[in-house]
Amino acid sequence: MAEEKLGHVIHYWSKIGVAGIHLTDGELNVGDTIRVKGHTSDFTVTVDSMQIDGDAVEIAKVGDDIGLKVPEYTREHDEVWKVVAD
């Protein structure tokens, strides 16, 4: 599977398991699979839902800051990649 750079983690709310992600490249849709990779993190997750300023959205574009539920701890500056079929 190929990967395309999407952005990076800007914050993590541990009590609710949500990562704040800033998109610097590409577009993210509900249903896409992403990979979060950092110094101590490396996992994939399918995007079930995401929010911008508390509102649910289906698509996020370059420049957006989104909130996304993730299954593992993330850190600021962890890289976010979109997993795409070859």
Q: 43, 39, 3: which is closest to 68 by C-alpha? A: 43
- HEC states along the chain? CEEEEEEEEEEEECCCCEEEEEECCCCEECCCEEEEECCCCEEEEECCCEEECCEEECEECCCCEEEEECCCCCCCCCEEEEEECC
Q: What domains can you pick out in the chain, each with its CATH number?
A: 2-84 (2.40.30.10)
Task: Print pLDDT tens along the chain (86 aa).
Answer: 799 999 999 999 999 999 999 999 999 999 999 999 999 999 999 999 999 999 999 999 999 999 999 999 999 999 999 999 86
CB 21 within 8 A of CB 33: no
At 69 the pLDDT is 96
- pLDDT value for 85: 80
pLDDT in the model for residue 25: 96
Tokens of 4: 């395309």
